[in-house]
């Protein structure tokens, strides 16, 4: 039972990080980044290659997420430039289709060279505390997640850039009037969100594996978490992610994998219908 809670928590941490990648970009720029899952899996591929050279999963984590961050910067400067040029309503639509196209393109590209599922095992064994089996990998995921949340919290509350980011999320025009360069901030948050996506996906593969072909599953999970969390609130996104992670882990533990997926989708549907007034 406690073992299941730990697994659920680690799943929840991954969900929360994935949800944050959507919330950050959507909250700041009105773009629903449907490529977030692919960015994550690309991070996993880079990390898995790195572990072949350096025997440390944590070095791999850093290199993988940085690599994806660079890719994110490239995408932001090229593709998203066109998207941000459009005004409010058009931008939402354009954002959906351009990132969907990007996801399809990157998936097609990476499947050519890396069709297999990859994982980045942290090299921790299952251990027991007072007779309870706890998976080392799950603990590693939770630790990584906790560090990320702490760093993000400090960034958002204690730095100028973080405060500027929150200002833009609340009121774009107001932020502009305060002299904040919104375009630069958007670049920053987009890169940040791709780095987060990579960390989330790599932390996910501590205990399982994933292939580029199934990257869209990460994206849908991310979108659902963000939606349940209310799309523009970072704290609530984290809470929603952890909650959904625990629920789906228990559902899958008791009823099986498809059922847990179904629970996730049904939660999203119910939340969307119940409190759609607050959303976007």
CA nearest 114: which of 198, 42, 37?
42
Q: Using an 8 Å Cβ cutoff, are 5 and 139 in contact?
A: no
**Two tokens at 2?**
């406690």
By CB under 8 A, tell whether 108 contacts other proteins. Answer: yes
Query: Mask: binding to other proteins, 154-193, rule CB under 8 A, as x and -?
Result: ----------------------------------------
Q: Does 28 bind other proteins (CB under 8 A)?
A: no
State how far the Cα of 188 lies from the Cα of 8, in Å rounded to an integer.
31
224 binding other proteins? (CB under 8 A) = yes
Of 52-81, binders to other proteins (CB under 8 A) are: 79
Which residues are CB-contacts of 10 (< 8 A; sequence separation ≥ 6)? 137, 138, 139, 141, 142, 145, 203, 206, 207, 245
Quick check: helix, strand or coil at residue 166? helix
**Least CB distance to other proteins at residue 155 (A):** 27
Token pair of 67, please?
């690599």
Interface pattern 238-277 for other proteins (x via CB under 8 A) = ------------------x-xx-xx--xx-xx--xx--xx
Q: Decide: helix, strand or coil at residue 177.
A: helix
User: Where do contacts with other proteins occur on this chain (CB under 8 A)?
Assistant: 32, 79, 82, 89, 92-94, 96-98, 100-109, 111-112, 216, 220, 223-224, 227, 256, 258-259, 261-262, 265-266, 268-269, 272-273, 276-277, 279-280
């Amino acid at each position: 039972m406690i073992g299941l809670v730990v697994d659920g928590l680690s799943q929840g941490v991954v969900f929360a990080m994935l949800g944050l990648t959507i919330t950050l970009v959507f909250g700041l720029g009105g773009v629903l980044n449907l490529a977030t899952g692919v960015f994550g899996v690309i991070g996993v591929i880079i990390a898995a290659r790195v572990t072949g050279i350096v025997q440390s999963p944590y070095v791999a984590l850093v290199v993988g997420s940085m690599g994806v961050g660079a890719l994110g910067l490239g995408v932001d400067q090229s593709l998203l430039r066109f998207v941000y040029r459009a005004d409010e309503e058009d931008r939402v639509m354009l954002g959906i289709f351009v990132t969907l196209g990007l996801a399809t393109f990157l998936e097609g590209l990476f499947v050519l060279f890396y069709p297999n599922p990859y994982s980045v095992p942290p090299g921790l064994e299952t251990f027991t505390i007072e007779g309870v089996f706890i998976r080392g990998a799950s603990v590693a995921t939770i630790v990584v997640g906790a560090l990320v949340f702490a760093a993000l919290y400090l960034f958002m509350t204690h730095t100028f850039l973080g405060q500027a980011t929150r200002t833009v999320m609340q009121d774009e025009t107001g932020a502009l009037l305060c002299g904040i360069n919104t375009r630069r901030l958007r670049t920053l948050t987009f890169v940040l969100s791709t780095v987060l996506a990579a960390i989330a996906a790599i932390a996910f593969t501590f205990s399982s594996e994933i292939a580029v072909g199934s990257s869209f599953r990460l994206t849908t999970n991310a979108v659902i978490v963000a939606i349940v969390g209310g799309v523009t609130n970072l704290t609530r996104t984290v809470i929603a992610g952890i909650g959904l992670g625990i629920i789906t882990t228990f559902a899958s533990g008791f009823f099986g994998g498809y059922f847990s997926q179904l629970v996730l989708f049904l939660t999203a549907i119910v939340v969307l219908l119940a409190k759609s007034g607050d959303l976007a």
